[in-house]
Amino acid sequence: MNLKLMGWIQNDLSRLGEYCGAASQACGWDIPYNYPVFGRDAFRTATGVHAAAVIKSYRKGDRELADLVYSGVPAGQFGLEQVVEIGPMSGKSNVIYWLEKRGIEANDDRVSRIYDRAKQASAVLADDEIMRLV
């Protein structure tokens, strides 16, 4: 990863995550959630301002900008993308984006129900919990 970011190699690393996952499984080792690039939390956000900037970039069709807004590592170079989640610090735009990304209509009632639950939560909502609120 560092060699790619420093421009020392030009290799296509978009499938490196698949390799890391296969190696992790073969070795019986879980990739730590906070591990750089391929850890579960590497490109996740639920914070309103951060997520809003990422969402605006995606809506403009600018994946590269979405990667650079708050991340020192461009997810797209490694076959990944920024993930917008919903939690207590999220705005309604997080909810709307999350729903639309899954092809679910973001009507006012649905958005308010999910947003209100998120504001009461102590952590990011799991996808299955959000789906129960849909």
Closest CA to 115 of 20, 97, 77: 97
Tokens of 101: 């990304």
Nearest to 55 by CA among 90, 82, 78: 82
* Confidence at 85, pLDDT banded by 50, 70, 90: very high
Q: Give the pLDDT confidence of 98-109 residue by residue, as tens digits.
A: 999 999 999 999
Answer yes or no: are the C-beta atoms of 69 and 57 closer than 8 Å. Answer: yes
> pLDDT for 2-52, tens place per residue?
898 899 999 999 999 899 999 999 999 999 999 989 999 889 888 878 888
Q: What is the pLDDT of residue 69?
A: 83
Radius of gyration of the chain (CA): 16
β-partners of residue 83 are: 44
What's the whole-model pTM score? 0.80
- Distant-in-sequence, close-in-space partners of 74: CB < 8 Å, separation ≥ 6: 64, 67, 68
Burial label, 12 (beta-carbon count in 10 A; 0-12, 13-18, 19+): exposed
